[in-house]
Structure 1
Amino acid sequence: MKKQGTGMVPKKAIQPLVDVIKRAQKETWEARKKGEITQEHKITSSLATNIRRECRDVFKRLNLNIEVLCHNVHDKGPGVEESISGADIGITLRVNKNENIEKVGKVKTVLIQSKLPKNTKMDILENEIAHMVGVSGAGMNGSFVAVYNNNQTKVSTILDIENANYNANIAKVGSLKIFFKKFFSCHYGKRGLDSTDLRFKPKFYLEFIVNK
């Protein structure tokens, strides 16, 4: 196993990872154009699956013991994870120790709430963001909003959403490619947070934020 350096992702891996994000997004949008996926949660699931697969192949090719995990948050039934975390998906970057995936060396996560354009639920976005920030504890660097436009995904920081009065359709946005470049370069993400741990977060953990 090659030495990975002090950062979570070696510089040599960042551009190859960013390049495959574009391919992963293209696969999902081609399925959308064919009418194979139309609902928000199915778009999220498809995109997450493609991103994880493409990133895994890059890490394997470069002989790096790093993985990207995409935890789809459940949004059905009372007390579900999305109502607790405010997110649709948690994307986690793990640097594992040796070959044992049970021993994580470094980990960080971003939480993302996804929306379709002109989503009628935009009025609850402020509350969803309060939940995400409460779980991530990292403000705009740990929580984001993604809007699935007709041909691509646009991502906004929490600050951009707040400046747009919680209307994700008019907020300042960046491309998915730029978002992941900053994620892999350690500009985005809450260190120490693993998205798979969200299922264990109790509701009262966020009450002080939601009810302030």
Structure 2
Amino acid sequence: MPKAIPIAVVAAEGLQGSAAGLHTHTHLAVPPARVSRRHFLQGSVVLSGVLAAGTPIALLAPSRAWAVELTHIDQSQADAIMTLSRTLYPHKTLPDAVYALAVKDVDAKATDQKTMDVIKNGVAKLNDAAQGKWTGNGTLSDAQRTAIVEANQTDPFVLLVRAQCVTSLYNNDMSFAHFGYEGEAFSKGGYVGRGFNDLTWLPNPPAGASPPVA
């Protein structure tokens, strides 16, 4: 079962100037009432953005504008986790909206001082290695960030984010839509009648690869 992703539907005109990338858990389980951007941002650490028009995720989401509220980590920590998530699991065409799922889930785990210390120390270590430029747009190349992560791959913070990304990035409806995964088929009659022969990105196997039909 994919995770249900709570999303705040924010007035799009209020987010047009935001970084069109960061996002939260999105799903169809959206509160019916729209949330004003001013009310949502008040006193909160928020990741927000606008989904690119015409993409599978934009067609799935109830609104192109989105916002994610965080409760425990601060803005610099949220930005650092976002950058680390994309460095660990790079998909150039996957919107930042999906990567923000990992940020939200790490934030949900930061309910005790021990976890907060892991996050705080880990962010500081990455920033030190990057000379304060870990989250700066365009200041480090992908190769430089990858080298920093490789040098700190046993750090508890890197391990925490890495483990969280495995489920946060891939077990949700947004990723399913982006990567073209149609979901389980058992309840819809099975893959023989639904999706068994839909593969288009590999060449057809030779006839000898399949046994004769009895």
Q: Settle same-fold status: TM greater than 0.5.
A: no
**TM-score bracket, shorter-length normalisation:** under 0.3
Q: TM-score, normalised by structure 2?
A: 0.24
Q: Which has the larger radius of gyration?
A: 2
